Amino acid sequence: MSTERKVVRTKDVMTDRYAMVDGLVTVREAMDLYRQENVDVLIVNKRDQDDEYGILLLSDIAKQVVAKDRAPERVNVYEVMAKPVVAVEPRMDVRYCARLFENFGLSVAPVIANGEVQGIVGYTEIVMKGMLAD
């Protein structure tokens, strides 16, 4: 009787529920994009080949715009995003991805291969698709 566990990788559970946005757009425009695209995460695009990706979560908007009573049409995404983003490799075992999230206080991360965003992975995907993959 084999007790070998099948390795579930981030590429197996990642989702495409993200949209790309420019860091110069306003938070209001970013919120409109969230709604229009029905996504969970906005990835802030690189400005050039030497730049890094950023990430904008609704929690960033809540903490840095809503809680501070700032006008979303007067705040740019680059002012409240997290950058550089902590990313994971497509081949990473979801167990290590979960540990990475715990170690760095993350809830979601882009899956990046060859400098390009392939998808996003969060606790929902790790638990619902990773653990229940059988």
From CA 106, how far away is CA 71, in angstroms rounded?
Answer: 26
- Per-residue pLDDT tens over the stretch 77-124: 999 999 999 999 999 999 999 999 999 999 999 999 999 999 999 999
Domains and CATH numbers, the chain: 10-131 (3.10.580.10)
Asked whether residue 71 carries a pLDDT value surpassing 90, the answer given is: yes
Q: What is the pLDDT of residue 53?
A: 97
What is the C-alpha to C-alpha distance for residues 116 and 52, in angstroms, rounded to an integer?
Answer: 11
pLDDT at res. 3: 59
* Residues contacting residue 33 through CB under 8 Å, at least 6 positions apart: 19, 21, 25, 39, 42
Residue 5 has pLDDT above 80, yes or no: no
The separation between CA 6 and the C-alpha centre of its own chain, rounded to angstroms, equals 25
8-41 pLDDT, tens digit per residue, is 999 999 999 999 999 999 999 999 999 999 998 9
**What confidence score (pLDDT) does residue 6 get?**
84
Entry pTM: 0.89
Distance, in Å, from the CA atom of 64 to the CA atom of 80, rounded to the nearest integer, reads 6
Residues near 54 by beta carbon (within 8 Å), at least 6 away in sequence: 23, 43, 44, 77, 78, 81, 82, 83, 84, 85
**Token pair in block for residue 127:** 């638990």
